[in-house]
Amino acid sequence: MVDPSCCSVSAGFSIRQPVCSSAVDGCKQQSRLLPCARLQPRSAQPMSINQQIRDLAYFMKIAELGHLGRASEVLHISQSALSKCIDRLEEAYGAELFERAGRGIRLTSAGQLLCERSQQVASVLDETQRQTSSMGKGLAGVIRIGAAATTAEFMLPKACRVLQEQAPAVLLEMQIGMNDVLHDSLRKGALDIVVGPLGTRDEELTELPIMDDEVVVAASADHPLAGQQVPMQALSDYRWILSPPSVATRQWLEAAFMKQGLPPPDVAIVSSSQASMRNLIVETGLLSFVSRRNLANSAGLVEVPNPATTMPRRFGIVRRADAYLSPATRRFIEILQQQEN
């Protein structure tokens, strides 16, 4: 008899066929299964993958039970059909798989090897089925997110918590940076989505609005203009710390000054790091242009209010227009939408 521990049929090989209308004596079928002519060497013959998986499932059950008749009853397959199954496998693998053992049959050395390997394949198929099912439901997979500093601080933490509660197997890979850099990575396919300011005119990208925001002039609490509503001319008298020229907020601010017939702000420091912006403003006494949301949580910073230097904008999700979004990514987008609604 065959050790069933290595030959039990896995869910990955679950097969069902119509019930046989009649059963033939197992020993007779086993005699037909093992004619003397089979002892001659044979060359391997190709089989279709579907037929091979089905035949291996039958083979494993026959090996487990060590008897063709009992396997026929359990599988609801005629013994002649099971004999043909073994014929096909022996032709495909070029080796005898069974030998007689009293009133039953047992595996040959080649059959034992095939049984062990078939069990491994069945386990892999079963695990693959579970994993692909989870990925299809958005419960597994990888999401590559680009985020502006403001959205990384105010939008993403709660959304990440909810996602981990719903789908702990999802891996989030997050890149924090300036919008122009993130959009470039998005176009190249290095990111799945970008969560940040909207307003791109790139036809390759599409946008989904999530929330509103305003960008305002900021200063340290001890700055001469702190908290005062002053004309833009007064703002021109001070130096600034701003983002690189390619960033939309800086371009908007410079355009606002030029619209009033004033030169662009006099920039002393260019920084792409929002994380260091607060300390730089406090220590240097420079003016800057930051999200009002950041300002509210930054001790030592105050707004210098002026409608002409208040930039309205929207935050949301940017993606490639023709790109596939995985179920996990779609799940994360839904979480962000529900969070802000």
HSE-CB at 27 with a 13 A cutoff on CA atoms is 3
Fold of 141-340: D-Maltodextrin-Binding Protein; domain 2 (3.40.190)
CATH code at 4-133: 1.10.10.10
Strand partners, 65: none
**Residues 6 or more apart from 225 whose CB is under 8 A from it?**
219, 234, 235, 238, 287, 304
pLDDT tens for the chain, 341 residues: list them: 444 444 444 434 444 343 333 333 444 444 444 443 344 444 555 667 778 889 999 999 999 999 999 999 999 999 999 999 999 999 999 999 999 988 889 999 999 999 999 998 888 887 777 777 777 777 788 999 999 888 898 889 999 999 999 999 999 999 998 888 999 999 999 999 999 999 878 888 999 999 999 999 999 999 999 989 999 999 999 999 999 998 889 999 999 999 999 999 999 999 988 778 889 999 999 999 999 888 877 778 999 999 999 999 999 999 999 888 899 999 999 999 998 76
pLDDT at 20: 39
pTM of the entire predicted model? 0.59
Residues of the chain with CATH 1.10.10.10: 4-133
Residues of the chain with CATH 3.40.190.290: 141-340
How many Å is the maximal CA-CA distance in the chain? 105
Task: Annotate 71-113 with DSSP letters as a single string.
Answer: HHHHHT--HHHHHHHHHHHHHHHTS--EEEETTEEEE-HHHHH
Cα separation, 134 vs 67, in Å, equals: 38
Q: In this predicted structure, what is the pLDDT of residue 330?
A: 93
Residue 234 sits at φ, ψ, to 5 deg, of: -65, -35
The reported pLDDT for the residue numbered 14 is: 44
As a whole number of angstroms, the distance between CA 107 and CA 112 comes to: 6
